[in-house]
Amino acid sequence: MAYNIFTVLKYTTSEKTHTAIVLEEGIWNVNRIQLPSVRDSYPTVDAWLATLPGSPTTDQLQVGTKIANEHRELQKAAVKKIVKRFTKPNTWHVPRARLCSLTIAKPLYILIKECNLLESLPIREAYNAFVASLLNHTNKVRTTIPKHIYTLIITMEGIEERIYSLPCTTSDAFLVAKTDILRTYQPLYSLIQDTLVPYMMQKEEERLATKERDRYTQLLSKSVKKHQKMTEEYERQIRAMEQEIQGYQDKLQQVKL
């Protein structure tokens, strides 16, 4: 059974009520008051049910849809707004609203812009077609991006690995959506690969070199400070020993007198 995002699921036993919520990333067990973690998240409702006592089925769940319905209406409004803005001719259809399927679209645009390819009409049309496909499947898939934009693998295989199914999507529907998205990405990739791939490799090498330079700069600074503290301590010890020596020297002078 498919559930919309933000659907609340409850299974009640004689001892307690087990609660989960359907998120974009999977099913989150919310019985513990903490942020979602790997341990408390499950890829499917069945996987969550398998951890509960009594081996319950989906028929035994209490399903809360109020928040899910509100989210669905907000998402529809966001999609409608985006589609309206995308009807403008001669523009790049760069999404602004946060829809889970569109996550990968803006970073791609940024890379195209950095490579000075915004004047290319074929690239713009291919990009807009790709965004339209992502938007068309926004209720079935989500896309992700890496922490650093230049580590994004823009090959067909790399983009495919960034497309995930929503918990409310059947495997057949996900396959159809992913296939359509990759079909519309192929023309865009063929147009940008020769420019973007070497550019991203260069930028990532620069990022890593800068990161290592900064790391060694910090290590050097720490070493210098440590050396200064050690030097100050040695100098303090030397002064103390010199004072002791002088004290005994004065004592010897007094004894001789």
For the chain, domain boundaries: 8-64, 69-205
Question: 49-63, 141-155, 175-189 — which one is most confidently predicted on average?
Answer: 175-189
Phi/psi of residue 45, each to 5°?
A: -65, -40
Task: Note the helical H segments in 64-162.
Answer: 66-85, 105-114, 121-136, 156-160
User: In the chain, what is the greatest distance between 2 CA atoms, to the nearest angstrom?
Assistant: 108
β-bridge mates for residue 143, sequence order: 163
256, pLDDT greater than 80: no
Sheet holding 17-22, edge to edge: 41-42, 27-29, 17-22, 8-12, 62-64
pLDDT at 139: 80
Do residues 3 and 16 lie in contact, with contact meaning Cβ atoms separated by under 8 Å?
no
Confidence (pTM): 0.64
Instruction: State the Cα–Cα distance between residues 133 and 101, nearest whole angstrom.
Output: 9
Residue type, 241: M
Do residues 207 and 152 lie in contact, with contact meaning Cβ atoms separated by under 8 Å?
no
Tell me: the pLDDT tens digits for 147-160?
Answer: 888 888 889 999 99
